[in-house]
Structure 1
């Protein structure tokens, strides 16, 4: 039986140190700097392929593992099929117990709800800012005249 850790931060400028410290007791550790929204997380895939029956997968928080409740349930199903337990340190979840499995499912649903509420609030804030005339994105680099000149050159085959 191995204790396998998985740590993830969402962007390159974030730091894994806190998670790595919490997971220092693990026999094997997978880590990556990748958004949970990206479908391609090679270290998560490697971790899920690595774990075997009797192993324990340890993460610091549920949101480090999955991007949605559906994704979380898919991962949990795969772990269950392989006979691997999941421990979530910050939420004190251990799926080797009935109470841990219940808590896991409840917190997964709550996490998804929080994510959706946060996205709704963010969208509301963006819309309000646009109403106030706030512009998003970087400043235009070309003037209207320069754009017209480039279009004309393109049409002429230049």
Structure 2
């Protein structure tokens, strides 16, 4: 069994000292640390390294819950991964420890809340998209060309014999955008 620590602050100007001191007192033999935003676990390489390193029987220790996850959903994902690997999570400031029955209960509750939160968020998102579409709002990337530019491309191709590469360079667009403009009116590429 190994006790692994993880410390994080959001910006370069902040200090990890307080967290590192707590992790040392908790008996961490290895500490992963980083100065990055905590919005998504996937974008934090040191957290990913710590999660990849821990093995069955190990304990991952953090000073506060928000150091490892900024959302309940992220926390549930991390807790699930640790559970599958047989690794306990200990949160020093909140007194949570998934090696205890109470700690497991707390994380199961957090997992249920995370699922509920995700369902509610998805429902609100669907409602918002439907309302926006009713109001005529278009989703997706903005077209590279206006209708007038597409007509000009078709004319230059048909009447002046411009190649696809020449049109792409002239309009500063990709070849696929040229092909789409040509297909819009049924003109052969």
* Category of TM-score, reference length = shorter chain: 0.5 to 0.7
In the alignment, does 2:61 pair up with 1:57?
Answer: yes
Higher fraction of helix: 2
Q: Unaligned stretches of 5+ in structure 2?
A: 25-30, 165-189
What is the match of residue 16 of structure 1?
Answer: 10
User: Cα distance 1:22–1:30, how it changes in 2: closer, same or farther (>3 A)?
Assistant: same
User: Cα distance 1:91–1:153, how it changes in 2: closer, same or farther (>3 A)?
Assistant: farther
Structure of higher RCO (CA pairs closer than 8 Å, 6+ residues apart): 1
Displacement of 1:90: 7.8
Q: State the superposition RMSD in angstroms.
A: 4.0
Displacement of 1:148: 3.2
Q: Which among 73, 78, 81 is matched to residue 80 of structure 2?
A: 73
Structure 2 length as normaliser, TM-score?
Answer: 0.54
Q: Which among 115, 119, 128 is matched to residue 116 of structure 1?
A: 119
User: Cα distance 1:87–1:151, how it changes in 2: closer, same or farther (>3 A)?
Assistant: farther
Larger Rg computed on CA atoms: 2
What is the match of residue 145 of structure 1?
Answer: 148
Q: Unaligned stretches of 5+ in structure 1?
A: 8-14
